[in-house]
Amino acid sequence: MKILKPFLITLLFSALVSVCHAQQNFLNITNYRAYYGWAHNYPQDWIILRRFENNKRDYLLLVNPQTLQTRINETSFYQVQEMTFPQTRVKFKGTPYIKAIAQAEKQSVTIQDAGIEKGIPSETGISLTADLCPSHKPLDRRIFTDMISEFQKVEKPAPVALSVSGLWMLAHTADIQWLKKLRDAGDIRITWVNHSYNHRVSAKAPLKENFLLEPGTDIEYEVLATEKLMLKNGLVPSCFFRFPGLISNQQLVYKITDYGLIPIGSDAWLAKGQHAQNGSIVLIHGNGNEPVGVRDFINLLRSKTKQISEKQWLLYDLSSTVEDEEKQGE
């Protein structure tokens, strides 16, 4: 028994951790809305981004302004002060989160690849982002199985950012379950990035009228409906946004940052022949439509096997990349 007891405590603790880790599926969301302000629960201050009800309980989507991590929690746990988003920005001025928003706005003029597009070059490794644009093909699971087998001895869970579109989620319930199993097993840590709901694209329209710049696009719907569907699937929305096609203009960037979201570009879209450097935000597509990029990513991992085993080449969270870029700018 003496030997068993610590073992049992460990078991119980891991069970508790996994219970806390599993996210609730919010199946009956009502009154989902952009709602900003300050939520206080000693010793941590949080920024409120959204508010909603589910089965008669009131919830907040919160972001930690220091770490950029988000969470959902019941409103009653906090002292809440509602503010406009501009007021919230002033109150939390100087935090990594607010600085990252300002940084993204500074890089908002170009039509392609606005926002934060790379991390700190002295980091040895990359941040992986995989886009899940609407597709009827199954999730490209090799990305995850190869990543897990390369990193299991050195970096567990391995961080990855997945940009999900609403239409992809609707058609891929089994793939979402599979990803959540990897997450709950501690193999990967997923940052869920908003990639718009409809992700409309035209083969003919010029870029300035394509993707989210298509006339008549309802940005509020594209942002909020995607988040609601993430919550329904038990995924916690992060504070990041990836433009479909990486296409935007300055006005659109400001519309997105006004929702408290940080646009994330890429300096290494592998299928377009761009190479990953240290600190790169690598872009591949996990929706089965871009096998070339996935192949390049797997080759990249294989070429780094020795460095990975020596912890000389690692994967970085999107949030730590942004934070580091901010620190670097100081």
Quick note: the x/- pattern for Zn ion over 227-266, rule CB under 5 A, is -----------------x----------------------
279: which DSSP letter? T
Which region, judged by CB under 5 A, interacts with Zn ion, from 86-94, 102-110, 130-138, 298-306? 130-138
Looking from the CA of 16 toward its CB, the CA atoms found within 13 Å total 6
Which region, judged by CB under 5 A, interacts with Zn ion, from 71-79, 129-137, 185-193, 271-279? 129-137
Nearest distance, CB of residue 287 and Zn ion, angstroms? 8
10 Å Cβ neighbour count for 205?
14
Distance of CA 224 to the CA centre of its chain: 15
- Is there binding between residue 140 and Zn ion (CB under 5 A)? no
Quick note: the x/- pattern for Zn ion over 266-305, rule CB under 5 A, is ----------------------------------------
d(CA 327, CA 330): 5
Nearest distance, CB of residue 204 and Zn ion, angstroms? 18
d(CA 40, CA 46): 6
- Which residue's CB is nearer to Zn ion, number 120 or number 212? 212
Given a contact cutoff of 8 angstroms between Cβ atoms, the answer to whether 78 and 32 are in contact is no
- Which residue's CB is nearer to Zn ion, number 244 or number 265? 244
Task: Figure out which of the listed residues 133, 252, 276, 282 binds Zn ion, where binding follows CB under 5 A.
Answer: 133
Amino acid at 107: Q
Backbone angles phi and psi of 230, in degrees to 5: -60, -45
Q: Is 6 left (phi over 0), alpha (psi -120 to 50) or beta?
A: alpha
- Is there binding between residue 131 and Zn ion (CB under 5 A)? yes
Amino acid at 130: A
- Is there binding between residue 117 and Zn ion (CB under 5 A)? no
Nearest distance, CB of residue 133 and Zn ion, angstroms? 3
Q: How many residues does the chain have?
A: 330
Enumerate binding residues for Zn ion (CB under 5 A). 131, 133, 244
